[in-house]
Amino acid sequence: MIRPGASIGFFLLAACCMLVHPQRADAQKKQDATGTDWPSHGGMGSAWRYSALDQINRSNVKKLTPAWIFQTGDYQDGLQSTPIVVDGVLYLSAFDDVFALDGATGKLLWQYKYEPVPGFTPGRNFGVAVGDGNVFLGTHDAHVVALDQKTGKEVWKVAADDVYGCHCSIQAAPLVVNHKVIVGEGGPRGRITAFDTKTGRFVWRFYVVPGAGEKGVETWEGDSWKTGGSNMWQTGSFDPELNLIYWGTGDPSGAWNYQGDSKYSKLYSDSIVALDADTGKLRWYYQEIPHDVWDQDASWELLLMDRPVNGKMRKLVVQFAKAGYTFILDRETGELLGVYPYAESDNWVKGISPKGELIGRNEPAPGKTTLICPSVSGVKNWNQVAYSPRTDLVYVPVLEGCNLIALPESVNGAPTVGGTFTYTAPPGHAAAYTHLDAVDPVTGKRKWTYEYPFKIFASILTTAGDLMFVGEPDGTFRALDARTGQKLWDFQTGAGHRGSPVTYMVGGRQYIATPTGMGQVGYNNNGVWPEAANWRVGSSLVVFALPEGSK
């Protein structure tokens, strides 16, 4: 169901500084739109998930038909990765396996199967990176592997950490920048590490949690920094002109430790950090949620765009955060320029001030059951938004759901750890629900809304054909008009969607590729989504194109 011009009662905390109808920066379009290839996790370093291809468009998308299908053969956790396409070859990861496929036919060119160290098994993997003649894989046992792009032969393999000592892992796709492959790791202190693309030599490392004697360690109580963590769940973004890498960081891994003392902000958890691409030095940071006790993170994708602010073109970094607020920062300085809610049911805070201060924190308390919205799944999670410079809109899947959090009693005032979490519908609603919104990234104003009864797990794709694609958990792959939200086409792929669709061109023919397969994820959640019982597993890449000779 579409609700054109729908409003969520948004407010703009930096209204004095924002233009309501900014024009896009034309100079940025070529740099940040994909073309024939899909070379990086977010499309390009700006993470727009937007393609300049328009062979498939609003007038002919109804003719779209399957061109080929590839089955990975591994159905444990579905297929959550983002395919990478370079020079007509598609590179796909499933767990710690890597496949190279002919982009036009789906023919298997080579396959690499990673063998984890003893005691570890392959785990969830969100994709590979390609650059300098190699394909790069980050593994569940904290290794980085370089494969020859043409043959799939292992070129080098390095341990990013002592996996037995730190139990670190790499799930997000790597990022290739300036002859370095950069990975984000989960584990104690959290870390972002760069290796030389040719040799695997260690280049630099940034610890999210500062160590003894480092600036920011005073924001951790006592020696808690030693075990504090901040997972890197998503891939960072890169601005080549500023030579800065932007990465979102996770909660302080004390999120389930509800001590209720928020004077310790726990830097640099729940933050956006800007790092020098050559040295890894911290240029600036912005902490969205000091002392996160809700597991809301700030580790999701970061959109880089140039937009006018107060009559002056500004370089922006924009994040539609898991907690249901959009943060707009100057990407040169880290200055907060605006913040607004994009969810309808959030109650974890009453609001956020123009200076970024959390107003009215609603924290779980020991010995009580507290309704917290959003749930620990967030308003948005792994699934990425997309931005179109043609419409100047960001396309955002928004989950409206809550948790009833019951914490154990505190003993002698000691912190409580753990608790029970029951998914539930937002107040006033019979069930959790989702709406896919087309939003002005600066003002938060909705252009249109497409409503769903269940959660959208998959990422969004948008193209110069004024199309927006999204996969649904029941197996439907759908195309909407990016300008109006009107449904134009859909196809039942046979399994639910959790990955990230991409588009590319081989031999003059445009293709749309979508990963399918829900894996073992279960989202019945006490009846919140009873449809989940029918969501199918699978693990296939389904690729579409217009029929040969059609336009």
Q: What is the CATH number of the domain that holds 548?
A: 2.140.10.10
Ranges in the chain, pLDDT < 50: 1-25, 255, 524-526
In-domain check, residue 189: no
In-domain check, residue 531: yes
In-domain check, residue 383: yes
Q: Identify the pLDDT of residue 29.
A: 59
CA 307 to chain centre: 22
Q: Which one-letter DSSP state was computed for residue 118?
A: T
Q: Identify the pLDDT of residue 366.
A: 82
In-domain check, residue 27: no
pLDDT digits 0-9 by tens, 475-530: 999 999 999 999 999 999 999 999 999 999 999 999 999 999 886 555 544 456 66
Q: Which amino acid is at 276?
A: D
CA–CA distances in Å: residue 42 to residues 176, 226, 307, 376: 12, 32, 20, 24
Q: Please count the structural domains in the chain.
A: 1
Q: Which two tokens stand for residue 145?
A: 């592997």
* Rounded Cα distance, 208 and 199, in Å: 25
In the block, residue with structure tokens 């201060």: 357
Residues in CB range of 375: below 8 A, 6 or more apart? 399, 401, 402, 403, 421, 423
User: What is this structure's pTM?
Assistant: 0.93
In-domain check, residue 384: yes
Q: Which two tokens stand for residue 369?
A: 């059951």
Residues in CB range of 74: below 8 A, 6 or more apart? 94, 95, 97, 539
Q: Is 102 a catalytic residue?
A: no
Is the four-CA dihedral 46, 26, 450, 37 of positive or negative sign?
A: negative
CA–CA distances in Å: residue 319 to residues 211, 324, 351, 439: 27, 10, 17, 13
**Domain extent for 447:** 43-78+354-551
Q: Identify the pLDDT of residue 300.
A: 93
Q: Which amino acid is at 203?
A: V
Of 104, 150, 109, residue with least CA distance to 508: 104
- From 96, 141, 161, 295, active-site residue: 295
Contact 100, 520 (CB under 8 A): no
In the block, residue with structure tokens 């499309």: 43
Q: Identify the pLDDT of residue 4.
A: 43
